[in-house]
């Protein structure tokens, strides 16, 4: 601890803190006077204070020295000095985990807790319960029961709170005190009421009926403690949530009535509870919002903060409900507490009109440097949401964001800004150039490798397609000269994209590449050499395949396939098409804004779901030799919810086969199912080859059975099929309590819903960052085109979503977003068909009465083109 | 996100001096900053963000913090992000009022340290293991029943000691000047 004399202490005079230079050994030495007779209360008190102070500063006490001091301290119980005795209790609590044999003081404490001195009784109970374990609890049970119903409030409260602490340790013993707690709840003292309610709830919380009854009783009797009211509101809203009670429930009425309580604490708690309820309508919110509105003008900062923070939450879901408070919120944007001002502004940004945006942004930029990073992220998120709402405001936002980017700030903050700018660029083509310029400026002086590589990737993707791509080259090449390996490598990749797309830049890019080939790092050199050679070929198809669109296989899958290949050397060259594809990245970004969620969990790369399935299936001997797993579908439910058996199916597609994995759960605790399999009757010429039954299905332990189906070979266009499914099994009844099954069983079956296989099951999504290049790469050898009329579809959005989900392909170039007020749109889809054939779809949509769609399909295989067109028709 | 009904309201309470040094601190949630190093880092972070402006409430490291300062002392009460801010304020006010009454309105570092035992007892009466035990300062003062130490006597003894030391120094100086 701080024992060194540093300069500052000398200046301020060490006398300002008498405990500043305490030495543990010296204090323990002093503690010997505890053994002197007669006891000197004042000196002993001073030494005990020093010991507690040291413990509080984090000083480490060894077991032996702590035990020694503790035993010496027990002598002080002979003194009748009140403060000294109280400090002894504190020492006992502080040392309970450090010293040995603390139970030595049990009898002294029991004496104090049942004695005549009321001042001692409460604290003695709390100290005693701190050192009591399960075995000793029985011995003091009688005293505890008495103490809970004691007429002295401090004794009763102490006993109740201590019981609550002990619930975790010995629930069964404390549960026996429920009657005493019940009696204490009707005490006149407000704190006793509160503590009794808390203990009762903890004892009964698993019994919903008992909690409901208790709540009913207390809402009628009317407790006086505001704390108890807050607790009841929380219990009531939890009950409402669990029972999914409507807003006509008496529980809701109770919470609403608390909005009229005379304590602000209770009113706020009730308002907050209503706001947090799921499925709350604007009308039900109104009273809660209006009390929060009143709090906005409170002189207490904490109340203003609480109110505006809650209103901010409301604004996320129901911005219109908060509009009424706009005036009050306006007054808060100049609040001296910056947290309140920030929350007020971000709320206004959500509720205000487009016209107020400029003014608010100006206001917020005046103090953004003063607030903590947590709130800065809140601001950035609010801006991000705003850009989606008012795309026309992007120039104001962009300006603001670039200023923030220049300020100091941590990684989280910078990342939020960069993400926000990137999303604006992607949403608004007009903002692309300014956005890229800001990002270029940022990477000139960026200490975060992750952000620099991300931005370089962005520049490579978007830069070549701007009117003046040459201006980005300098920024990118600067990185090659100045940065760490990872950034240099990313810069080389970005450069290559410029060279591939802009013929007039190609010579200069080649010169730069040549320089990069002299880099000190392997990765950078390798990339440069590779791109150099590709670029020199000057072939569009090569550029598309190796520079723009890269590999679409899953990296762990590739690793495994290559490993396998080296284990079994063969004459044939390694075939890239046997490698499973990477499951398409989820492009849908959650824009949900949680202002207070400061989750800093590192984003872990979970093993891809498909890789897990691949391993599981490979472990089953019947499924050998099917080749790599091509695609696994999302689970399909084949039963209604809450039936006897729950079955869902996952469709695994291979090159020429499909495996159906049925995950079954038995929800009957009096049955054991054995030899469970799902019999399938196909409607088309699909052939069921093999069933792998699940040996047994115990109550609530899911297990899987499988069916192997061969896809029709003679007719490659037959991609869709309906299977009628029946689950067959042997039932053995069993004792619901022990799970012991009867000896005999009987066969039974259970009809499941039909299972559909569609064209989407045969296609894997693949993202082509540069669709145009990929389109040229495949060429028009097998191009086909057809026009369809979608009569039932009313909007372009709906049409786009239908096509995407029907074909199960990846929308590229953000073409899944239809700009507003347009009546024509082009959708680009990319995927790989089972067997490894690339397939691209361009769908031109026009909106008239219905939607007319002209579909152009290109693929490396003619059959695939036919399959797609046939299935769309 | 619904708040689990519970009496465990207070996550931590601490009193710092005007350099951000810990004078008293109690953490009630064993999962929150389990090590002394984390605790002191948190306290310093809180202090740096709050000591300049008397704003009453702040949100840091995912915690709601209410605070109050007096001369060279800073009182903090910490609760979870979802906690009712007014409950935390009630605890803070009770702590401050009780200390203030006990120290006869001399809420400053020296007096506080001279009566540290009383301050420990006050905190113990207000919060027990994170549960609000008492929120009325009057009740707290009655329960603690603490008599403020008379500082004058101690100051006299301190003066005496200083005089002795000074005379020693003078002697040494006189000797060395010869």
- Residue A589 predicted with pLDDT over 80: no
Q: DSSP letter string over B98-155?
A: HHHHHTTT--SHHHHHHTHHHHHHHHHHHEETTEE----HHHHHHHH--PPP-HHHHH
Task: Give the residue carrying structure tokens 């909690």.
Answer: A211
Rounded to the nearest angstrom, the minimum Cα separation between A364 and chain B is 18
Q: Token digits for B154?
A: 């101690």
CB–CB of A238 and B5 under 8 A?
yes
Q: What is the pLDDT averaged over residues A91-120?
A: 88
A 781-820: CB under 8 A from B: none
Nearest residue, CB atoms, A19 vs list B4, B88, B113: B113
**3 state DSSP class of A841:** strand
| pLDDT given for residue A354 in this prediction | 74
What is the number of structural domains in chain B? 1
| C-alpha separations of A243 from A200, A204, A240, A280 in Å | 20, 16, 5, 15
CA distance B143 to chain A (A): 6
Task: List the single range of A572-586, A686-700, A720-734 with lowest mean pLDDT.
Answer: A572-586
Provide the CB-side half-sphere exposure for A674 (13 A, CA).
Answer: 12
pLDDT category at A800 given cuts 50, 70, 90 is confident
Q: How close B109 comes to chain A (CA, Å)?
A: 8
Nearest-Å Rg of the Cα atoms of chain B is 20
pLDDT tens for A395-413 read: 778 888 888 888 777 888 8
Is B154 domain-assigned?
A: no
- Tens-place pLDDT, residues A265-279: 999 999 999 988 887
Check pLDDT > 80 for residue A547.
no
- Chain A residues with CB inside 8 Å of B2's CB? 234, 237-238, 241, 276
Helix residue ranges, H only, A371-431: 373-389, 394-406, 411-427
Tokens read off for B109: 């570092």
**A396 neighbors A386 (Cβ within 8 angstroms):** no
A174-203 burial, b at 16+ Cβ within 10 Å, e below that, comes to: beebeebbbebbebebbbbbbbbbbbbbbb
Per-residue pLDDT, A854: 87
Say if A410 is an interface residue toward chain B (CB within 8 Å): no
How far CA A723 is from CA of A648, A682, A683, A685, A870, in Å, comes to 14, 4, 6, 11, 20
pLDDT of residue A88: 92
Task: Tell me whether A157 touches chain B (CB under 8 Å).
Answer: yes
Question: Is there a contact between A265 and B4 if contact means CB atoms under 8 Å apart?
Answer: no
> Which among A83, A264, A305 is the nearest to B57, CB-wise?
A305
To the nearest whole Å, the CA of A301 is away from the closest chain B CA by: 6
Calculate what percentage of chain A has a pLDDT beyond 70: 93
Which chain A residues are Cβ-neighbours of B126 within 8 angstroms? none
Give residue B168's pLDDT.
77
Please give the span between the terminal C-alpha atoms of chain B, in angstroms, as a whole number: 80
A227 with B121: Cβ contact below 8 A: no
**What is the chain A residue with the closest CA to B149?**
A42
A-B interface: how many C-beta pairs under 8 angstroms?
156
Q: How far is CA A235 from the centre of its chain?
A: 25
Question: Who has greater pLDDT, A248 or A724?
Answer: A724
User: What's the rounded mean pLDDT across residues A674-679?
Assistant: 88
By Cβ distance, the residue of B24, B81, B158 closest to A596 is B81
Mean pLDDT of A188-212: 90
Query: A540 or A177: whose pLDDT is higher?
Result: A177
Chain B nearest-CA residue for A305: B57
Alpha-carbon separation of residue B142 from A103, A321, A716, B122 (angstroms): 29, 48, 90, 10
Greater confidence (A369 vs A326) lies with A326
pLDDT at A586: 39
- CA-based nearest residue to B43, from B70, B12, B69, B3: B12
Cβ-Cβ contacts under 8 Å, B36 against chain A? 58
Cβ-defined contact of B62 to A235 (cutoff 8 Å): no
Q: What is the per-residue pLDDT for B156? A: 62
Confidence band for A523, pLDDT divided at 50, 70 and 90: confident
Structure tokens at A626: 């099917």
The predicted structure's pLDDT at residue A608: 65
State whether residue A16 sits within 8 Å of chain B by CB.
yes
Residue A700 in this model has a pLDDT that exceeds 70: yes
Residue A454 C-alpha, separation from nearest chain B C-alpha, in angstroms: 27
What pLDDT was estimated at residue A195? 94
Nearest CB among B55, B121, B124 relative to A301 is that of B55
pLDDT of A685 reads 77
Instruction: Check CB contact under 8 Å for A305 and B117.
Output: no
Q: How far is B171 from chain A (nearest CA, A)?
A: 23
Q: Which of B2, B30, B43, B91 to mutate against chain A (most A CBs within 10 Å)? A: B2
Confidence of residue A7 (pLDDT cuts 50, 70, 90): very low
Cβ pair B117:A49 closer than 8 A: yes
CB within 8 Å of A437: residues ≥ 6 apart:
none
Residue A581 has what pLDDT? Answer: 66
The rounded mean pLDDT for chain A is 83
Token pair recorded at residue A369: 């440097």
What does the angle CA A492 – CA A493 – CA A494 come to, to the nearest 5 degrees?
90
Average pLDDT over every residue of B39-53: 89
Judged by a CB distance cut-off of 8 A, whether residue A55 touches chain B is: no
Does A123 touch chain B if contact means CB atoms closer than 8 Å? yes
d(CA A475, CA A467) in angstroms, rounded, equals 17
Option in A83, A238, A336 nearest B117 (CB): A83
3-state secondary structure A427-476: HCHHHHHHHHHHHHHHHCCCCCHHHHHHHHHHHHHHHHHCCCCHHHHHHH
Tokens, residue A120: 């001692």
DSSP string computed for A187-216: -SSHHHHHHHHHHHHHHHTT-HHHHHHHHH
Average pLDDT estimate for A405-430 = 83
Largest CA-CA distance found in chain A, in angstroms, rounded:
108
* pTM (global) more than 0.90: no
What's the pLDDT score for residue B3? 65
pLDDT digits (tens, 9 = 90+) for A58-80: 888 888 988 988 998 988 988 88
For a pLDDT cut of 90, what percent of chain A falls above it? 15
**Residue A44 C-alpha, separation from nearest chain B C-alpha, in angstroms:** 11
Q: Does any domain span residue B178?
A: no
**Does B118 map to a domain?**
yes
CB atoms within 10 A of CB A25: 8
Say what the pLDDT of residue A146 is: 92
For residue A242, the chain B residue with the least C-alpha distance is B2
Q: Would B138 be classed as within a structural domain?
A: yes
Q: Per-residue confidence at A160, pLDDT binned at 50, 70, 90?
A: very high
Report how far apart, in Å, the C-alpha atoms of A870 and of each of A182, A428, A488, A508, A755 are.
73, 36, 48, 48, 21
Residue B1 has pLDDT above 70, yes or no: no
Chain A CA closest to residue B7:
A198
Closest chain A residue to B86 measured between Cα atoms?
A265
Residues of A in contact with B89 (CB under 8 A): 300, 302
- Among A81-95, A399-413, B160-174, the minimum mean pLDDT is found in B160-174
CA distances from A505 to A132, A373, A546 (A): 80, 42, 18
Q: Which residues of B touch A158 (CB under 8 A)?
A: 128, 133
Residue A419 has pLDDT above 50, yes or no: yes
Q: What is the pLDDT of residues A337-387, one digit of tens each?
A: 888 888 888 888 887 777 777 777 777 777 777 777 777 887 888 888 777
* Domain span at B126: 12-148
- Chain A residue with minimum CA distance to B91: A227
* A268 lies within 8 A of chain B by CB: yes
Question: Is B92 a member of any domain?
Answer: yes
Mean pLDDT computed over A649-674: 86
- Please identify among residues 582-641 of chain A the ones whose CB lies closer than 8 Å to any CB of chain B: 596, 598
Which position has the higher pLDDT, A832 or A427?
A832
Is some CB atom of chain B closer than 8 A to the CB atom of A126? yes
Residue B177 falls within a domain, yes or no? no
Q: What residue in B sits closest to A49 (Cα-Cα)? A: B117
| Closest residue on chain A to B25 (Cα) | A56
Confidence of residue B2 (pLDDT cuts 50, 70, 90): low
Please enumerate in sequence order all residues whose Cβ is within 8 A of that of A555, keeping only pairs 6 or more positions apart, or say none: A582
Would an 8 Å CB–CB cutoff place A86 in contact with chain B?
Answer: yes
Using CA atoms, how far apart are residues A664 and A619, in angstroms rounded to an integer?
19
Most confident of A523-537, A552-566, B64-78: B64-78
Asked whether the beta carbons of residue A123 and residue B86 sit closer than 8 angstroms, the reply is no
User: Helices (DSSP H) in B51-108: which residue ranges?
Assistant: 85-102
What CATH number does residue B29 fall under?
3.30.450.60
Is some CB atom of chain B closer than 8 A to the CB atom of A247?
no
**Residue B165 domain flag:** no
A572: pLDDT strictly greater than 80: no
Would the pLDDT of A585 be above 70? no
A194: contact with B, CB 8 A cutoff:
yes
Task: Check residue B28 and give its pLDDT.
Answer: 93
B interface test, pick of A85, A190, A263, A302 with most B CB neighbours within 10 Å: A302
For residues A711 and A709, give the distance between their C-alpha atoms in angstroms, rounded to a whole number: 6
Residues of B in contact with A165 (CB under 8 A): 128-129, 131
Cα separation, A252 vs A271, whole angstroms: 11
How close, in Å, is residue B153 to chain A by CA atoms?
14
A762 confidence band (pLDDT: 50, 70, 90): confident
Q: Which residue of B has its CA nearest to A373?
A: B60
Q: Give the pLDDT confidence of A448-497 residue by residue, as tens digits.
A: 888 888 888 888 888 888 888 888 888 888 888 777 888 888 888 888 88
Q: Do B117 and A241 touch (CB under 8 A)?
A: no
Domain membership of residue B115 (yes or no) is yes
8 Å CB contact of B87 and A338: no
CB contact under 8 A, A302 and B85: yes
Q: What's the pLDDT at A230? A: 93
Each residue's pLDDT tens digit, A495-506: 888 888 888 888
DSSP β-bridge partners for residue A828 = A842
Q: A364 near A352, Cβ under 8 Å?
A: no
């Amino acid at each position: 601890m701080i024992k060194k004399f540093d300069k500052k202490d000398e200046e301020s005079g060490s006398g300002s803190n008498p405990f500043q230079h305490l030495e543990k050994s010296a204090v323990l030495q002093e503690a010997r006077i505890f053994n002197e007779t007669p006891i000197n209360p004042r000196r002993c008190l001073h030494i005990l204070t020093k010991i507690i102070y040291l413990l509080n500063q984090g000083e480490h006490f060894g077991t032996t020295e702590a035990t020694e001091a503790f035993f010496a301290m027990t002598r002080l119980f002979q003194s009748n000095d009140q403060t000294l005795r109280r400090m002894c209790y504190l020492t006992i609590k502080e040392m309970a985990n450090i010293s040995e044999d603390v139970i030595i003081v049990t009898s002294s404490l029991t004496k104090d807790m049942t004695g005549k001195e009321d001042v001692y009784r409460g604290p003695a109970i709390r100290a005693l319960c701190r050192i009591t374990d399960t075995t000793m609890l029985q011995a003091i049970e009688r005293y505890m029961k008495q103490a809970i119903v004691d007429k002295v409030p401090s004794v009763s409260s102490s006993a109740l709170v201590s019981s609550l602490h002990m619930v975790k340790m010995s629930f069964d013993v404390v549960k026996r005190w429920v009657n005493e707690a019940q009696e204490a709840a009707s005490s006149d003292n407000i704190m006793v009421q509160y503590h009794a309610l808390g203990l009762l709830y903890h004892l009964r919380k698993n019994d919903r009926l008992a909690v409901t009854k208790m709540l009913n009783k207390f809402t009628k009797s009317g407790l006086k403690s505001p704390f108890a009211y807050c607790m009841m509101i929380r219990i009531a809203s939890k009950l409402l949530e669990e029972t999914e009670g409507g807003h006509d429930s008496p529980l809701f009425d109770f919470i609403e009535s608390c909005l009229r309580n005379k304590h602000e604490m209770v009113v706020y708690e009730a308002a907050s509870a209503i706001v947090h309820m799921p499925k709350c309508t604007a009308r039900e919110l109104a009273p809660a919002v209006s009390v929060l509105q009143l709090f906005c003008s409170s002189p207490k900062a904490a109340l203003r903060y609480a109110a505006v923070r809650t209103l901010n939450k409301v604004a996320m879901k129901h911005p219109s409900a908060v509009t009424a408070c706009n005036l009050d919120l306006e007054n808060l944007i100049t609040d001296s507490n910056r947290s309140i001002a920030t929350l007020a502004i971000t709320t206004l940004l959500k509720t205000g009109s487009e016209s107020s945006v400029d003014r608010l942004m100006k206001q917020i930029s005046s103090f953004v440097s003063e607030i903590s990073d947590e709130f800065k992220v809140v601001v950035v998120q609010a801006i991000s949401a705003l850009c989606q709402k008012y795309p026309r405001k992007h120039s104001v936002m962009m300006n603001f964001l670039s200023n923030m980017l220049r300020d100091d700030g941590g990684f989280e903050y910078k990342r939020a800004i960069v993400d926000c700018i990137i999303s604006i660029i992607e949403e608004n083509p007009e903002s692309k150039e300014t956005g890229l310029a800001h990002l270029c400026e940022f990477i000139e002086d960026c200490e975060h490798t992750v952000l620099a590589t991300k931005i370089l990737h962005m520049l490579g993707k978007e830069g070549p397609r701007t009117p003046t791509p040459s201006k980005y080259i300098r920024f990118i090449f600067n990185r090659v000269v100045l940065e760490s390996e990872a950034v240099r490598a990313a810069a080389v990749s970005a450069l290559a994209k410029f060279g591939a797309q802009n013929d007039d830049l190609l010579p200069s890019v080649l010169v730069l590449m040549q320089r990069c080939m002299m880099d000190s790092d392997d990765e950078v050199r390798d990339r440069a050499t590779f791109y150099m050679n590709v670029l020199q070929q000057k072939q569009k198809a090569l550029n598309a395949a190796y520079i723009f669109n890269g590999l679409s296989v899953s990296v762990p899958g590739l690793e495994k396939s290559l490993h396998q290949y080296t284990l079994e050397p063969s004459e044939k060259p390694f075939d890239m098409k046997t490698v499973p594809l990477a499951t398409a990245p989820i492009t849908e970004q959650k824009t949900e804004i949680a202002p207070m969620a400061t989750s800093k969990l590192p984003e872990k790369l979970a093993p891809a779901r498909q890789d897990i399935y691949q391993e599981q299936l490979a472990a089953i001997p019947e499924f050998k030799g099917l080749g790599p797993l091509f695609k696994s579908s999302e689970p399909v439910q084949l039963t209604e919810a809450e039936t006897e058996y729950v079955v869902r199916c996952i469709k695994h597609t291979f090159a020429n086969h499909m495996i159906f994995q049925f995950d079954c759960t038995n929800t009957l605790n009096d049955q054991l199912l054995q030899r469970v399999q799902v019999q399938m009757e196909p409607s088309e010429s699909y052939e069921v080859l093999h069933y792998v039954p699940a040996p047994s299905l115990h109550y609530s332990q899911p297990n899987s059975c499988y069916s192997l189906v061969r896809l029709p070979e003679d007719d490659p266009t037959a991609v869709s099929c309906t299977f009628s499914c029946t689950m067959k099994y042997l039932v053995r009844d069993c004792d619901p309590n022990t799970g012991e099954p009867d000896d005999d069983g009987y066969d039974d079956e259970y009809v499941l819903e039909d299972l559909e296989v569609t064209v989407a099951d045969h296609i894997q999504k693949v993202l082509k960052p540069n669709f145009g290049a990929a389109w040229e790469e495949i060429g028009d050898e097998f191009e086909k085109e057809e026009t369809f009329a979608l009569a039932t579809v009313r909007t372009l959005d709906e049409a786009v979503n239908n096509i995407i989900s029907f074909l199960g392909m990846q929308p590229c170039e953000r073409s899944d977003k239809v700009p507003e007020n347009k009546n024509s749109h082009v959708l680009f889809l990319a995927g790989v068909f089972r067997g490894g054939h690339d397939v691209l779809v361009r769908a031109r949509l026009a909106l008239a009465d219905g939607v007319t769609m002209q579909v152009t399909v290109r693929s490396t295989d003619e059959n695939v083109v036919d399959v797609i067109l046939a299935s769309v028709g | 996100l619904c708040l689990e009904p519970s009496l465990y309201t207070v996550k931590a309470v601490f009193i710092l001096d005007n350099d951000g040094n810990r004078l008293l601190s109690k953490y009630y949630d064993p999962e929150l900053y389990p090590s002394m190093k984390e605790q002191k880092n948190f306290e310093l972070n809180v202090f740096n963000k709050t000591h300049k402006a008397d704003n009453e409430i702040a949100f840091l490291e995912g915690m709601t913090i209410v605070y109050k300062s007096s001369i060279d002392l800073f009182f903090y009460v910490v609760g979870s992000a979802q906690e009712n801010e007014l409950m935390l304020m009630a605890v803070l006010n009770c702590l401050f009022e009780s200390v203030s009454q006990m120290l006869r309105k001399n809420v400053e570092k020296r007096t506080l340290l001279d009566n540290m035992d009383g301050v420990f007892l006050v905190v113990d009466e207000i919060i027990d293991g994170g549960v609000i035990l008492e929120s009325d300062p009057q009740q707290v003062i009655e329960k603690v029943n603490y008599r403020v130490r008379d500082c004058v006597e101690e100051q006299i003894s301190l003066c005496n000691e200083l005089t002795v030391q000074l005379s020693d120094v003078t002697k040494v100086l006189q000797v060395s000047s010869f």
